[in-house]
Amino acid sequence: MTLDTEPDLSDFSRIDFSNGAVVAVSGGSDSTALLLLLKAHLDRTAPATKLLAVTIDHQLRPQAAAEAQAVARLCAARGIAHRILVWSGHKPAIGLPAAAREARYRLLAEAAEAAGVGLILTGHTADDQAETVLMRQARDEVPSEERPRGLAGMAPATLYDWRYWIVRPLLGVRRAELRKFLRREQVAWIEDPTNADTAFERPRVRAALVEGNDALRMAETMALARKAAVEREQLGQRAAMLIRGLASRPAAGLVRLDQDFATVADRRAAIYALRILLAATGGTTFLPDQARGEALFGRLRAGPLCATLSRSVVDARRTGIFLHRELRDLPPAVAVSDNALWDGRRRITLSDSSGALLIAPLLVAPLGVALAAKRAIAGHGTPASLVRAALAAEPALWRDGECLGLPGQGPGLPEESPMPAAVAAYPAVAPFARFLPSFDLAPADAVAALLGAAPVPAAPFGGHSAGLPRAKA
């Protein structure tokens, strides 16, 4: 069946589908239209492309299972591979939408992994974008200095778990246009009643947007989002230049900033870079508060200090400004597992398949002050006390109460150690390790290079910018 698609309704030409794609399909109008538009595009341009539709049953409504089966029938009729994945287990009473969103992306990533695909598409529209921006605009926690970050809305693409690109190709398309398309194709969609439940914030904003001058409010909001997105990307590029030019890593877990960092002319970019580095050093998902970042930067300009922010120690000395993880609230000992994110800062990986890890429990826990004092080697003008403090917070491998060494350190391990050599701990860029919006590629790449983390995987499209496509009326 050939779809009567509008050429300008969606543009998939910039996206690289050579490795296939997973499409999140709830059965609602937006995701259903996305799936059919993409199928038509691939049938015309690359019919052999692997395409997998995935429906997540959150088990939040009795009708959800039947709705997932309806999507399965639609996919079967169109010759599209389809899977249903279930979010089982505890559902929190508070923060349910956020928890459901996290579960949804986790399950989509698992489906992509199983299919050997690194690209996930979602059906977020211009309406969703406007709602997101209006919600953030209404919140008190978006001060003027943070507007470029908060009001940019959803990024056209987001890297999930540093591995999977989530692309939103319909961010410039109105929901009404997608529904017109589905009516022409005589394809029904599912109306989720929770989308109209004003007990949640987004449905309240959606209702308010419809009640007002929808077209005018939409145009103004999307213009605001585009402007904020460009500003956010530009600020990130300037912060990345400062990180590349003034930051170094003299030892594991230790970041050094040149003294010139405190006096750079671009104060906004310097504060932004400092906040990113603090989050990366402390292993926190969110950047430290803007006001606290500004206050700390002001103190750095005043002279030497020792302070803590975002689980990071900031030690400003004559030889430089040093950042390392504070020793409070480090993770307890846990069993080694593959692809685990330890303390937000290190990705633990296993490449051993011989069963050697089952000989006795192998745990990962902080090295500790005593062992760090024996291993720390200062050099290049770095104070030994700082090297010891940083090393003490690094993950080490333990078995039966004995420290086997630092994973991935090779020569630093005891020769008699029974530890499998296949255990490694790679640096992770903490604030972006889980979700990296495409607005923030420049600073994420700069921090990855600084810490020795894996570089950001190439985006699955060319000519990408942070600017959003113009909404179609």
Q: Read off the CATH number of the domain in which 109 is found.
A: 3.40.50.620
pLDDT score of 338: 86
Phi-psi region of 48 (alpha: psi -120 to 50; beta: other; left: phi over 0): alpha
| Pair of tokens at residue 231 | 């500003």
| Residue 114 to residue 235: CA distance in whole angstroms | 37
In a domain, 409, yes or no: yes
Q: One-letter amino acid identity for 265? A: A
Burial of 345 (0-12, 13-18, 19+ CB in 10 A): buried
Last residue of a domain, one of 185, 214, 229: 229
Q: What is the pLDDT of residue 228?
A: 92
pLDDT at res. 380: 63
Q: Within a domain: residue 342?
A: yes
Q: Note the pLDDT of residue 200.
A: 60
d(CA 52, CA 55): 10
Instruction: Mark residue 463 as left, alpha or beta (left: phi above 0; alpha: psi -120 to 50; beta: remaining).
Output: left
In terms of Cβ atoms closer than 10 Å to its own Cβ (0-12, 13-18, 19+), residue 161 is: middle
**Where do we find the tokens 């398949």?**
353
Query: 282-295 burial, b for 16+ CB within 10 Å, e for fewer?
Result: bbbeebbbbeebbe
Q: Tell me: the pLDDT tens digits for 266-311?
A: 999 999 999 999 999 999 999 999 999 999 999 998 889 999 999 9
Q: What is the mean pLDDT of the chain?
A: 86
Q: Is residue 242 part of a domain?
A: no
Between CA 53 and CA 26 the distance in angstroms is 10
Query: What pLDDT was estimated at residue 211?
Result: 57
Domain termination residue (choose one: 229, 260, 279)? 229
Per the listing, tokens 């495409």 go with 438
Residues 54 and 184 in one domain: yes
pLDDT average per 10 residues of sequence, the chain (473 residues): 52 91 96 96 95 93 91 97 93 85 95 96 93 77 58 94 96 92 95 63 65 75 92 97 97 94 96 98 96 95 93 95 97 90 93 57 90 72 90 92 76 41 87 96 97 92 45 41
Q: What is the DSSP letter of 460?
A: S
Distance CA 313, CA 323 (A): 6
Task: Let me know whether 54 and 173 are in one domain.
Answer: yes
Domain count within the chain = 2
Give me the domain span that covers residue 35. 21-229
Q: Give the neighbor-by-neighbor strand order of the sheet with 340-342.
A: 340-342, 346-350, 423-427
Residues 6+ apart with CB under 8 A from 75: 25, 35, 53, 81, 82
Angle, helices 201-211/126-138, rounded to nearest 10 degrees:
110
Task: Give SS3 for 221.
Answer: helix
**Domain closes at, from 197, 229, 261:** 229
Joined tokens for residue 248: 């170094």
74: nearest Cα among 125, 17, 29, 10: 29
Q: Does a structural domain hold residue 456?
A: no
Environment class of 365 (CB within 10 Å of its CB; exposed 0-12, middle 13-18, buried 19+)? middle
For residue 33, the model assigns a pLDDT of 97
Q: What is the C-alpha separation between 213 and 220, in angstroms, rounded?
A: 11
Query: What's the N-to-C CA distance of the chain in angstroms?
Result: 28
Same structural domain for residues 214 and 338? no
Q: Tell whether 390 is covered by a domain.
A: yes
Whether the Cβ atoms of residue 240 and residue 442 lie closer than 8 Å to each other: yes
Question: What is the per-residue pLDDT across 59-105, written as a single tens digit (0 to 9) for each?
Answer: 888 889 999 999 999 999 999 999 999 998 888 888 888 898 999 99
Q: Report yes or no on 412 lying in a domain.
A: yes
Same domain, 26 and 147: yes
Element (H, E) at 240: helix 214-246
In this structure, is residue 156 part of a structural domain?
yes
The rounded distance, in Å, linking the Cα atoms of 131 and 165 is: 23
In order of 24, 199, 338, the CA distances from 386 in angstroms are 47, 50, 30
Question: Both 102 and 223 in a single domain?
Answer: yes
Q: What is the pLDDT of residue 215?
A: 78
DSSP labels for 352-397?
Answer: --SSGGGSS--EEEE--HHHHHHH----TT--HHHHHHHHHTSEEE
Strands 346-350 and 363-366: unpaired
Q: Is residue 263 part of a domain?
A: no
